[in-house]
Homo-oligomer: A and B are copies of this chain.
């Protein structure tokens, strides 16, 4: 359970770094032992590969975001050896104009690898939930 706790904290840190637009903290959270294996998909974006490309994208996304806050729900952590998979729903609150806010639902799969006792992000895959929620009993309806 200690592993699950640490992974949950690492996962939360990703979103806190984004909320505070903390480029250095964001960089420290991503794995640097195997930089080519780093992968990031921002919602609706193509897949970005490589630590440098991914960190540049975060810097740009954070620079372009005035206000954002995440409420993570349905967080599940699966640890197997030195790799952990987190799946969760990101309930996102953003500033649309100076006086109004919007919200969006994003679902995410995040993969962490343990390096010298620290969990570092290797994959972040966020995707938009489009349209109304689908009843899983009749998803083709």
Contacts and interface: CB of A to CB of B under 8 A. Distances in A.
A86 B130 CA distance: 24
Contacts of A39: 76, 87, 109
Given A61-B139, A63-B140, A134-B46, A81 B83 contact: yes
B113 A37 contact: no
A23 to B, nearest CB: 14
Task: Count the copies.
Answer: 2
Interface in A38-55: 39, 41-49, 53
Nearest to A62: B140
B87 A57 contact: no
A109 B41 contact: yes
A82 interface: yes
Given A111-B111, A129-B44, A85 B123 contact: yes
Contacts of A134: 45-46
Interface of A: 37, 39, 41-49, 53, 56-57, 60-61, 63-64, 74, 76, 78, 80-83, 85, 87, 89, 105, 107, 109, 111, 113, 122-123, 125-131, 133-134, 136-140
20 contacts: A37-B78, A44-B131, A45-B129, A46-B89, A46-B105, A46-B133, A49-B74, A56-B136, A57-B139, A60-B138, A80-B81, A81-B81, A85-B123, A87-B123, A109-B123, A125-B125, A125-B127, A126-B127, A127-B127, A128-B128
